[in-house]
């Protein structure tokens, strides 16, 4: 609301009461938006399945023994290995082997390479709308990348720490997450619309508004036709049938006297 000094004043208690008053509408909008989010995630978006395989890269300076320096050097090079796994040579070789009809950039967006913390194990994850294809592509990347790393980094061995799994449930989209986000977004937007509409409405509605924002005292209030009709309906039940006589008063503007007519 706005006062005489053009300073906007917001009554938090009044806003809270407004939100409580329209809580049913806010919840209804949230439920509708949540239902839309559920329908989109369940029936519109194609589910994606993720398959993960893991490799352990071993780098020995001496082919007979494994030293601490070998372990330390291997840990420092895991990021280099991750870059080689997702390199153009490896992914394009997988595209040709799997006869995929997509570009390198498109395929690379479905491949995730992560180095597990404080280990030399690298996880390779591939997403696809076909769970069997996701498993096949993950294993194919691991096989081709192992040969590529050996040739480039002169690594002795790239061992399989974990074979690619066959996913049984989609990794995305999450129906629960989409539904929750839809509900929260619908409820938030509806609440914001109600609050903004209340704040921009500067009309005077009650006698308290007149005294608060105009600094004037209210001498009288004029009832609307709707209020008069309600009042007549309430009185019609208790009025006497013989009390139909009308009494009116006419006042002269020049003096306080009046003339009574019947």
Query: Residues with Cβ < 8 Å from 222, sequence gap 6 or more?
Result: none
Q: Are residues 86 and 103 in the same domain?
A: yes
pLDDT at residue 150 is higher than 80: yes
* Percent over 70 (pLDDT), the chain: 66
Query: Residues with Cβ < 8 Å from 76, sequence gap 6 or more?
Result: none
Residue 242 lies in a domain: no
pLDDT at residue 28 is higher than 90: yes
Do 148 and 92 meet the contact criterion of CB atoms below 8 Å apart?
Answer: no
Residue 260 lies in a domain: no
Highest-confidence segment of 68-72, 212-216, 255-259: 212-216
How deeply is 36 buried, as exposed, middle or buried, from its count of CB atoms within 10 A (0-12, 13-18, 19+)? middle
Rounded distance between C-alpha atoms, residue 22 and residue 196, angstroms: 13
State the number of CA atoms in the 13 A half-sphere of 217 facing the CB: 1
Q: Are residues 74 and 25 in the same domain?
A: no
Q: What is the CATH number of the domain that holds 101?
A: 3.30.70.1130
- For residues 44-49, average pLDDT: 95
Do 159 and 58 meet the contact criterion of CB atoms below 8 Å apart?
Answer: yes
Residue 134 lies in a domain: yes
pLDDT at residue 174 is higher than 80: yes
234: which 2 tokens?
């309430």
Residue 28 lies in a domain: yes
Residue 24 lies in a domain: yes
pLDDT at 29: 96
Q: Are residues 126 and 188 in the same domain?
A: no
Residue 251 lies in a domain: no
Query: Residues with Cβ < 8 Å from 183, sequence gap 6 or more?
Result: 30, 31, 33, 34, 37
Q: Are residues 132 and 195 in the same domain?
A: no
Q: Are residues 19 and 92 in the same domain?
A: no
Rounded distance between C-alpha atoms, residue 105 and residue 48, angstroms: 18
Rounded distance between C-alpha atoms, residue 85 and residue 146, angstroms: 8
Q: Are residues 145 and 79 in the same domain?
A: yes
State the number of CA atoms in the 13 A half-sphere of 179 facing the CB: 9
pLDDT at 221: 66
Of 137, 162, 187, which residue is a domain's last?
A: 162
The band of 126, judged by pLDDT with boundaries at 50, 70 and 90, is very high
DSSP H helices, the chain, are 12-21, 23-39, 68-76, 78-85, 88-98, 104-108, 131-153, 175-200, 207-209, 225-236
Q: Are residues 100 and 58 in the same domain?
A: yes
Q: Are residues 63 and 146 in the same domain?
A: yes
Q: Are residues 182 and 194 in the same domain?
A: yes
Closest-CA residue to 136 (of 81, 177, 94, 172) = 94
Residue 255 lies in a domain: no
Mean pLDDT of the chain: 79
Residue 7 lies in a domain: yes
Number of domains present in the structure of the chain: 2
pTM: 0.67
Structural domain boundaries enclosing 177:
1-45+173-234
Query: Residues with Cβ < 8 Å from 102, sequence gap 6 or more?
Result: 95
Rounded distance between C-alpha atoms, residue 48 and residue 110, angstroms: 10
pLDDT at residue 137 is higher than 90: yes
Q: Are residues 187 and 146 in the same domain?
A: no
Closest-CA residue to 158 (of 52, 55, 53) = 55
Rounded distance between C-alpha atoms, residue 229 and residue 223, angstroms: 10
Q: Are residues 73 and 149 in the same domain?
A: yes
Q: Are residues 113 and 156 in the same domain?
A: yes
* pLDDT tens-digit series, residues 232-241: 666 565 544 4
């Amino acid at each position: 609301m706005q006062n005489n000094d053009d300073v906007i004043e917001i009554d938090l208690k009044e806003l809270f009461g407004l939100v409580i008053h329209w809580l049913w509408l806010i919840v209804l909008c949230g439920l509708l938006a949540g239902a839309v989010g559920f329908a989109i995630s369940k029936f519109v978006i194609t589910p994606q399945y993720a398959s993960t395989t893991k490799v352990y890269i071993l780098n020995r300076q001496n082919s007979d023994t494994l030293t601490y320096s070998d372990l330390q050097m291997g840990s420092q090079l895991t990021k280099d290995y991750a870059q080689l796994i997702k390199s153009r040579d490896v992914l394009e070789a997988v595209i040709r082997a799997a006869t995929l009809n997509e570009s390198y950039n498109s395929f690379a967006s479905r491949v995730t390479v992560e180095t597990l913390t404080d280990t030399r194990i690298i996880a390779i994850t591939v997403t696809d709308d076909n769970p069997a294809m996701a498993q096949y592509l993950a294993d194919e990347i691991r096989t081709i990348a192992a040969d590529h790393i050996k040739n480039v980094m002169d690594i002795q061995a790239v061992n399989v720490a974990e074979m690619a799994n066959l996913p049984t449930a989609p990794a995305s989209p999450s129906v629960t997450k989409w539904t929750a986000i839809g509900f929260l977004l619908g409820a938030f937007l509806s609440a914001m619309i109600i609050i903004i509409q209340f704040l921009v409405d500067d009309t005077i509605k009650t006698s308290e508004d007149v005294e608060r924002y105009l600094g004037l005292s209210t001498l009288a209030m004029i009832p609307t036709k709707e209020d008069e009709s309600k009042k007549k309906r309430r009185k019609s039940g208790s009025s006497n049938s013989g009390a139909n006589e009308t009494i009116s008063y006419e006042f002269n503007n020049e003096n306080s006297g009046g003339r009574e007519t019947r």
